[in-house]
A and B are shown apart, each in its own frame.
Chain A
Amino acid sequence: MTEYIALSWLDLAAASVFIALNALFSMLLSLRLERQLLIASLRMVMQLLLIGLILKTVFAVASPWLTLAVALAMTAFASREIWARQERRLRGVWGFGLGAGTMAAAGMVVTVFALTLQLEPVPWWSPRYALPLFGMILGNTMTGVSLGLDTLHGAVHRERVAIEAQLLLGRTRWQALGPVMRRALRSGFTPIINAMAATGVVSLPGMMTGQILSGVDPQEAVKYQLLVMFLIGGATGLGVMGAVIGSVWRLTDARHRLRLDRLR
């Protein structure tokens, strides 16, 4: 590994000039985006500085319980995002719990798999490896799950008459909701499929670019990126399938009825 080029605070301040330029254009063109740009930039700075401090402490303490606590906190924030991104949600605890549960289960299974079988740090839960990996997997799974659930709930609400027409003709709930379920699954899978297809051709992934800028050999960085993309793809698929199939199950009952009373 070669020495990486350390950044000064002045470098970062200089880079933020382009955001300020965008805000200026927003004002000149009456886009009214300057306030949002400013708030988003400040929020990003605060969040990253805070997570930098937290990670530094967690790495130094190196406690499995503290590592788990940070992972759970990340899961809670991601779960809130899934909940907020759905225009129509399941009522009650299901509205938060289904997306959160499937995302957390998929993310944790895949992260533990990679930590114990591919990366094998000592100890296996080492926060320096576990938390960044879990974060990347969680972020992508969150996007897939929220898209899948939003598509499913919108379609079920919009196409109630067509779904019930099939139930009235003696189709089961899985047959009647099959087309909307497949549409929701495709919607949840699309971002990760697009990302895998574009990686290396249209875009260089952030993690790989970061490693290369830090002095890692590009071929080693590529190997890490491939590992991460496989893990992200796997976790997203498991999370989306769990959430969408679980929601179809919840939106119907054992007598093959469509239960829109369980959707808000």
Chain B
Amino acid sequence: MLVVEDLRTPLIGPVSLSVGAGECIAILGASGSGKSLLLRAIVDLDPNEGTVTLGGRSREGMPADEWRRRVAMVPAESGWWADRVGEHFAPGDDTDALLAAVGLTDARDWEVSRLSTGERHRLAIARALLLRPDALLLDEPTAALDAEATARVEGLIAARGEAPLILVTHDRAQAGRLATRCYVMTGGRLKAEA
């Protein structure tokens, strides 16, 4: 279980929530309401105060790099630091299987600069899933995808196993399909939707 208590930064909070094993919660809200900042604070990418635990273990009790391998976040804008797709993935069968699952089997040799936004996003999700995280935070995972690609990504999300999932989305229909609970972020504060 992923538990967030009194999490705050200068722009958001305090926020408290918990996500159980295998559960998915959706966070909706207008642009600039602080949804992405909340995910960044949970993975400790921005300075913040509050308590976050995963399976009873506090993030302060482990190095930040280990925490981010356990609680993987895929931001809305994916980052790439090498020329070819393959350089962003460790070699192995797991990678090939995941690339096939997102419909990009031959992408290893592709140049990153020639990828579409949707392809970049699918590869970024595959890259995070390869960490086999214990919890997953996705920021607008299908914002730039067509219906077929969205279905593939949602299939991956559903097949993640018992990892708790926090999904930031603008898509109410998607929240309805995937999430067991919905929250709305307004002015940095989180409120459960009835």
Interface residues of A (CB under 8 A from B): 159, 161-172, 179, 253-259
Contacts and interface: CB of A to CB of B under 8 A. Distances in A.
Given A164-B45, A255-B44, A257-B45, A171 B79 contact: no
A159 B81 contact: yes
Contacts of A167: 45, 65, 68
B85 interface: no
A257 B59 CA distance: 14
B110 interface: no
Contacts of B73: 168
Contact of A168 (B46, B66, B72, B80): B72
A254 B65 CA distance: 10
Interface in B11-63: 43-47, 63
Contacts, number: 61
A169 B47 contact: no
> Is chain B's interface secondary structure helix, strand, loop, or mixed overall?
loop
Interface of B: 43-47, 63-66, 68-69, 72-75, 77-81, 124, 127-128, 131
B65 A165 contact: no
Given A255-B44, A257-B44, A162 B65 contact: no
A258 B46 CA distance: 8
A171 B65 contact: yes
Nearest to A256: B64
A161 B77 contact: yes
Given A162-B80, A164-B79, 14 more contacts: A162-B79, A162-B81, A163-B81, A165-B124, A167-B68, A168-B43, A168-B45, A169-B69, A169-B72, A170-B131, A179-B81, A256-B64, A256-B68, A259-B47
A162 B78 CA distance: 8
**Nearest 10 pairs of A and B residues by beta carbon:** A165-B79, A170-B69, A161-B79, A162-B79, A255-B64, A162-B81, A256-B64, A170-B65, A170-B68, A172-B65
B131 A169 contact: yes
20 contacts: A161-B77, A161-B79, A163-B81, A164-B45, A165-B75, A165-B78, A166-B81, A167-B45, A168-B43, A168-B45, A168-B128, A169-B68, A169-B69, A171-B65, A179-B81, A256-B63, A256-B64, A257-B44, A257-B45, A257-B46
